[in-house]
Amino acid sequence: LRARRRRRVSAGCRCIGRAPSSSHSIPAPQMSAEERLSPHMPEALRCDACRAIAFQGWLSRAEAKQGRKALRESDYVEVLEQSCSQDWELYGVQELSGERRLTGPGLPGQEAMSVAVMGGPWPGRLAKMCHSLVGEHSEEQLYGAHRRGPTALRELLCHGKKGPCAHLGGSKAGGSAPPKALQNEL
């Protein structure tokens, strides 16, 4: 059933969830012109993107730390910059509750039956935004947030005065805190 379901979905899309007992058609998210054509992360998805970047930065830091008591400040910034250059192919866009959202590791859950549009411009946009976010903060700020934990890193990168999530105030596009399980995974 999985192979049959994937054949009905255009290239670049991934079906998520269990195969239905009867045949259903699940449309891919309809992208706006900005989402299809802009070289930058669309404004409505910047908060989700920032959370993904903070999550990946924390994972990269944890992997680099293995076998060592602590990373030096300069090593940590290098690890963050390398994490920005990673392959972001596990991220894409899907519709959640009628709203287009970024999906991937470290981001809020997925609906039982949905289609995620992966690849395309999303990996490049995430890498570009990651480098920009890391460049906006000093080594001391980044290292200090890293020492305080994953929530502090997310707060620094995403919720500061000019952060991508600052204007959301607990509503739209990931403004509310992610589930506790995700916070603990960071």
pLDDT interval class at 11 (50, 70, 90): very low
Which of 2-6, 25-29, 117-121, 155-159 is predicted least confidently? 2-6
pLDDT digits (tens, 9 = 90+) for 161-178: 888 998 776 433 344 443
Q: What is the pTM assigned to this prediction? A: 0.72
pLDDT of residue 167: 79
The closest alpha carbon to 118, from 3, 47, 16, belongs to: 16
In this predicted structure, the answer to whether residue 9 has a pLDDT above a threshold of 50 is no
User: What's the rounded mean pLDDT across residues 45-70?
Assistant: 79
**Distance between CA atoms of 45 and 138, rounded to whole angstroms?**
25
Contact 92/104 with Cβ under 8 angstroms?
yes
What is the residue-averaged pLDDT of the chain?
A: 74
Tell which wins on pLDDT, 148 or 67: 148
**Distance between CA atoms of 88 and 11, rounded to whole angstroms?**
17
Q: Where are the beta strands (DSSP E) in the chain?
A: 13-16, 92-96, 99-103, 114-118
pLDDT of residue 68: 58
Degrees, nearest 5: CA angle 107-95-14: 80
Q: Which residue has the tokens 């993904």?
A: 52
In this predicted structure, the answer to whether residue 132 has a pLDDT above a threshold of 90 is yes
Phi-psi region of 106 (alpha: psi -120 to 50; beta: other; left: phi over 0): left
pLDDT interval class at 112 (50, 70, 90): low
Rg (CA), the chain: 17
